[in-house]
Amino acid sequence: MTGVVEEIFDLFARFGGGEYGEALSLERHMLQSAAMARSLGASNAVVVAALLHDVGYFLVPDSANAIAEGRDIGHEALGAAWLSQAFGTDVTAPIALHVQAKRYLCGVEPDYFAGLSKASRLSLALQGGVMRADEAERFASDPAFEAALLLRRCDDRGKDLAAATPALEDFRQLLVATLRR
Ligand code: FE
């Protein structure tokens, strides 16, 4: 299954430079998100989830156009589905839910929306808007709820143009160690 790790490196190399409406490349954003998860003491699975949370954008050749045109490609589900060939739900579930986590936080934290990046604010409506109370209640009972919120915080904070960014290579061992046995 280490072939998947090679595929991940290949995807980052080919598509990591792509923009997604943020000033930062996708690769830097994902690496910074993983570094943030590590610095917050997240589990290995959540660090890997942060590193790979936007991999769905790499799987759709058209994703840059889709973003520019305001089409939602469901990158969170695409990425989680692709990663499920090699990683367990401790990695894939928070990825699948990181957009829902944004919708949730917009509903429960008054200041959360204003603190989002411009691209994240713009995509909210496309992603279903602020979560309703009944949806939020259901979401909060998901087994991956806490991990999804943590990943989301790392996602939101992994957009610092000035921050030092680790290399993907720094995460190779962690990726291999986190593969589903
Ligand atoms: Fe992200």
CA dihedral (60, 139, 174, 35) positive or negative: positive
Cα(174) to ligand 1 centroid in Å equals 20
Domain at 2-178, CATH class: mainly alpha
Would you list the domain boundaries of the chain? 2-178
**Residue 179 DSSP SS3:** coil
CA 34 to chain CA centroid, nearest Å? 9
Report how far apart, in Å, the C-alpha atoms of 140 and of each of 15, 103, 108, 158 are.
33, 12, 11, 24
- Contact status, residue 87 vs residue 48, Cβ threshold 8 Å: yes
Cα(12) to ligand 1 centroid in Å equals 14
- pLDDT score, position 1: 62
- pLDDT score, position 115: 95
- pLDDT score, position 50: 98
Cα(155) to ligand 1 centroid in Å equals 5
Cα(148) to ligand 1 centroid in Å equals 12
- Contact status, residue 12 vs residue 58, Cβ threshold 8 Å: yes
- Contact status, residue 113 vs residue 124, Cβ threshold 8 Å: yes
- pLDDT score, position 96: 98
- pLDDT score, position 66: 84
- pLDDT score, position 20: 72
CA gap 128, 145 in Å, rounded: 18
Cα(170) to ligand 1 centroid in Å equals 19
**Residue 27 DSSP SS3:** helix
Q: Nearest 5 degrees, angle CA 124-CA 115-CA 110?
A: 80
Chunked into runs of 10 residues, the chain (181 residues) has average pLDDT values of 92 89 89 97 98 96 81 95 98 98 96 93 93 97 98 95 94 97 85
- pLDDT score, position 23: 80
Cα(124) to ligand 1 centroid in Å equals 13
- What tokens appear for 19 in the block? 């923009």
